[in-house]
Structure 1
Amino acid sequence: MDPVRIAREVVEARFPAARAAILGGSANTGSRTAESDLDVVVFLDGQPAPYRETTEHDGVPVELFCHTPESYEAFAAQETASRRSPLLHMCGEGVVLLDRDGFGQRTRTEAQARLRAGPPPLSSTDLEDHRYLLTDLLDDLDGADDPDELVFIADRLLIAVAELILLTGGRWRSHGKWLLRRLREADPKTCRELLLGYRRVVCAGDPALLRRVAAGVLDRVGGRLLVGYRRDAPTGLRR
């Protein structure tokens, strides 16, 4: 399969007036698998963008992310504030398929710079929220006497620890396979231990290693937080 050819054919057939298009994701990298879809960001001058659509070409699933320049910037800003931006990663790490006036390459270069700058740092409030979550999950792990509940708690703990490592290290957070890839890059040793601890919970019902790894990560950022934690409701929900 030639992902660039397929993506370019989709853009040419579906969007003859597109201003630019970028093939992102893992489709054009060594991380591509036989089941990988193609993520294509298409820039249009107006309606019907913005929208997202899944289609297929030559038997390959294609995810289309259609934007105007304005909607792209709004979505990228919103994602950046959440410290997770699939859109910036698709554009910054992707291949320019179509570029009528230089906008595609400018967008790719700008996305690369924004990715290098990293996400907004955690505020003290955000950090306390993460510490509280991990503390609560560790208490649940210690108190679990149902082996099935233990697996679900371990699953949430695995993700929460991974995200905390990335966020406190100034890295972009992510979901699924990309969360693992970014954690491996940021802290390979803890990543290996965390995965081993999780597997021991799932395969043997033994939470000891997962508890130790999670507690160690929590200690790096200030330790447990439970009693005394408080958050007021948003202003719009208070009477």
Structure 2
Amino acid sequence: MENSRLEPLIAAKMFAKENFSASGIVLLGGSVVRGEATETSDLDIVVIDCNVNNAYRESLVVYEWPIEVFVHNTETLMYYFKSDCERARPSLPRMVAEGIIIKDNGSCRDLKETARELLSAGPKEWNTSTLMQKRYFLTDLLDDFIGSTNHGESIFIAGSLAEALHEFVLRTNRRWVGSSKWIVRALKEYDREFADTFVDNFDYYYKTGDKQSVISLVDAVLQPYGGRLFHGFSIGKKHGCNE
């Protein structure tokens, strides 16, 4: 069946004109801008309006397009920029940096430059304590995976292990992390060859039930940081006592 929907940019412009004509900045971001759209992709539209008192997000279907609109004033935009970067998942900075300008009050260039600088800088480096914790919890997941004899449980342990492993690899290399489909995309942005190996090893486990390729991958990632960690790990232990 032929798709009769409007082109994404045309739909975004019409949506902005009909709903946000008084707003200062409107951007079209997301997968349609990156050329990664699928049949179920939506239009991600960022609106910056100094007259709104609080940030909000709304989901709509307009012109046969699912639309996700993210509305901010300048202060909330900067707050979410900071929040996204602290959790190492810069969704909003990415949308602003990559976004096609639909409407501009003259300040969009500076906002896009701020977003690009944040993306380029990468997330903060893990401190020693955080690195030890992540190494321990990754070891714990690996032990659960190795010891599990229930196939159903093992499938979901493997999913948690994959997410934790991708985070460990990317954060120790000061790269942004992802979730869901963005796990693979974030790994490919870091190292396409490693991303292929990562996917292949987990895919092999899911198809065959053979855990060894996943175990070897996790051990290879942990090895430069001292390998698996269990004995001697502690959180919150205090020495001595206070009067």
Using structure 2 for the length normalisation, give the TM-score: 0.91
State which of 17, 24, 27 in structure 2 corresponds to 1:19. Answer: 24
The structural deviation recorded for 1:48 is: 5.1
For the Cα contact (< 8 Å) 1:151–1:202, is it kept in 2?
A: yes
| Stretches of structure 1 lacking an aligned partner (at least 5 in a row) | 234-239
Cα deviation digits, residues 113-161 of structure 1 (max 9, x gap): 1111111111112211210111001111110111111111111111111
For the Cα contact (< 8 Å) 1:8–1:97, is it kept in 2?
A: yes
Deviates more, 1:29-38 or 1:188-197: 188-197
Q: 1:237 maps to which residue?
A: none
Q: 1:107 maps to which residue?
A: 111
**1:75 correspondence with 2:80:** yes
**1:56 correspondence with 2:66:** no
The sequence identity of aligned pairs, in percent, is 31
The alignment covers a number of residue pairs equal to 232
Q: 1:154 maps to which residue?
A: 158
Amino acid at match of 1:40: I
State which of 38, 43, 53 in structure 2 corresponds to 1:38. Answer: 43
Name the SS for the 2:228 alignment partner.
coil
For the Cα contact (< 8 Å) 2:53–2:73, is it kept in 1?
A: no
Cα deviation digits, residues 185-239 of structure 1 (max 9, x gap): 2122222222122122222111110110111111123321112222229xxxxxx
**1:184 correspondence with 2:188:** yes
The structural deviation recorded for 1:105 is: 2.0
> Using a 3 Å threshold, how does the CA distance of structure 1 residues 209 and 52 change in structure 2: closer, same or farther?
same
CA distance in 1, matches of 2:67, 2:95: 14
Name the SS for the 1:53 alignment partner.
strand
Pairs within 5 Å for 1:72-151: 72-100=77-105, 102-151=106-155
Q: 1:169 maps to which residue?
A: 173
Q: 1:196 maps to which residue?
A: 200
Name the SS for the 1:28 alignment partner.
helix
| Stretches of structure 2 lacking an aligned partner (at least 5 in a row) | 1-5, 238-243
For the Cα contact (< 8 Å) 1:49–1:67, is it kept in 2?
A: yes
Amino acid at match of 1:111: A
CA distance in 1, matches of 2:234, 2:16: 50
Using structure 1 for the length normalisation, give the TM-score: 0.92
CA distance in 2, matches of 1:48, 1:7: 23
**1:66 correspondence with 2:81:** no
For the Cα contact (< 8 Å) 1:4–1:28, is it kept in 2?
A: no
Cα deviation digits, residues 80-135 of structure 1 (max 9, x gap): 111111000100111111102x1222111211111111111111122112101110
CA distance in 2, matches of 1:29, 1:213: 30
**1:228 correspondence with 2:232:** yes
For the Cα contact (< 8 Å) 1:41–1:65, is it kept in 2?
A: yes
CA distance in 1, matches of 2:226, 2:192: 22
Amino acid at match of 1:229: F
Amino acid at match of 1:147: H
CA distance in 2, matches of 1:166, 1:49: 33
Q: 2:33 maps to which residue?
A: 28
The structural deviation recorded for 1:43 is: 0.5
Name the SS for the 1:18 alignment partner.
coil
Q: What is the root-mean-square deviation in Å for CA atoms of aligned residues?
A: 1.5
Spell out structure 1 runs of 4+ moving beyond 4 A: none
CA distance in 2, matches of 1:129, 1:66: 36
> Using a 3 Å threshold, how does the CA distance of structure 1 residues 106 and 215 change in structure 2: closer, same or farther?
same
Name the SS for the 1:27 alignment partner.
helix
